[in-house]
Amino acid sequence: MQSKAIAARRSAPSMRDIQWQNYVVYIFFAAVLVFFSVTIGDKGFLSVMNLFNIARTTAMITVIAVAMTFVISAGELDLSVGSTAALAALTCALVMQAGYPWPAAVIAALLAGMAVGSLNGFFVTVIGIPSFLVTLGMMQFIRGVDMRVTYTNPVSISNQTFNALFGSGNIGGVPSLLIWSVAIAILGHVVLKYTAFGRAVLATGGNRLAAEYSGIKTRRIKFAVFLMSGAAAALAGMLYSGMMQTARFNFGEGAELMAIAAVILGGTSLFGGKGTILGTFAGSLLIGTINNGLIIMGLDVSEQMMVAGGIIILAVAFGKKPAT
């Protein structure tokens, strides 16, 4: 009898079983696209140029948010990603300015990001401070470092290979920023969904003790997600600087909140244990599309902020499961 029930359930999931709340981010995304297509389709919203533009401006948030999905799924938070992005951008620019080849600069930038990630991981897993506090402090600290290294002066990047690869260029007509964000999202999706590491991350966030009793080294897992987050922030920083062909201390301000919003919009649980990269990708695009559409509609910045904030709250509210 029991095995019959199992078989029935697998072959024919009924409509009621499909929880539409899981798809709210896609539904909202579609709705927002349709809305803007109808209202401002003739003002260039639908042009290929503009769509690529959306992809370009959301790329950094997407890259950060993919790693943030791992961090949040493991039951932690990383607020330091925005300032880390700027740190990596500056590192990269300064190393190139000093005459080293661009690959060396890229490696230096990644190392800088991973250094911040390891510090976060160390304080969270070894010292045992809640990640909210550690990364809040780190966010301030690193932003201070960013301001100090160049006395808030921008550092321009003249290496055109770097600029083309990280941000400004096109590859086969497709903006490199779009390629980066799609590649990182696919990588994140595969790792979270199809590897033992991904499962271990979700189990650690879902119930740390149970994961430990099952043989998962949860400290290592938590350390690893902070390391990933630092590396992703560094990549995002290089994407900013490649796009602007310069590096500035204030890159990535507020990026941490945008990334967290994208992750939560996508259906990842803020309490850990449940996460999806596809949702995060859609969440990031949703935020980017709203911002883009509102600009084209001609709203001023204050109005844009109010509308975008309202839509985010609305989407999260719709995505909430009814209390059981």
- Closer CB to another protein, residue 31 or residue 187? 187
Beta bridge partners of 175: 170
For the CB of residue 17, give the shortest distance to another protein in the complex, in Å. Answer: 6
- Closer CB to another protein, residue 211 or residue 263? 211
- Closer CB to another protein, residue 1 or residue 48? 1
For the CB of residue 122, give the shortest distance to another protein in the complex, in Å. Answer: 19
As given in the structure block, the two tokens for residue 135 are: 């990364």
For the CB of residue 3, give the shortest distance to another protein in the complex, in Å. Answer: 7
232 vs 227: CA distance, rounded Å: 9
Closest CA to 290 of 39, 29, 42: 29
For the CB of residue 324, give the shortest distance to another protein in the complex, in Å. Answer: 9
The angle formed by the CA atoms of residues 25, 233 and 294, to the nearest 5 degrees, is: 45
For the CB of residue 128, give the shortest distance to another protein in the complex, in Å. Answer: 17
- Closer CB to another protein, residue 5 or residue 317? 5
For the CB of residue 83, give the shortest distance to another protein in the complex, in Å. Answer: 33
SS3 315: helix
230 vs 255: CA distance, rounded Å: 13
Inter-helix orientation angle 301-319/24-40, to 10° = 140
- Closer CB to another protein, residue 2 or residue 302? 2
What amino acid is encoded at 276 in this protein? T
For the CB of residue 266, give the shortest distance to another protein in the complex, in Å. Answer: 17
SS3 209: helix
From residue 104, give the alpha-carbon distance in Å to each of 19, 100, 183, 232.
48, 6, 22, 17
- Closer CB to another protein, residue 302 or residue 324? 324
321 vs 19: CA distance, rounded Å: 9
| Counts for the chain of helices (H) and strands (E), in that order | 14, 4
The angle formed by the CA atoms of residues 73, 79 and 83, to the nearest 5 degrees, is: 135
- Closer CB to another protein, residue 46 or residue 186? 186
Footprint of another protein on this chain (CB under 8 A)? Answer: 2-3, 5-6, 9-10, 14, 16-17, 190, 194-196, 199-200, 202-203, 206-207, 209-217, 269, 273-274
DSSP H or E run through 65: helix 48-73
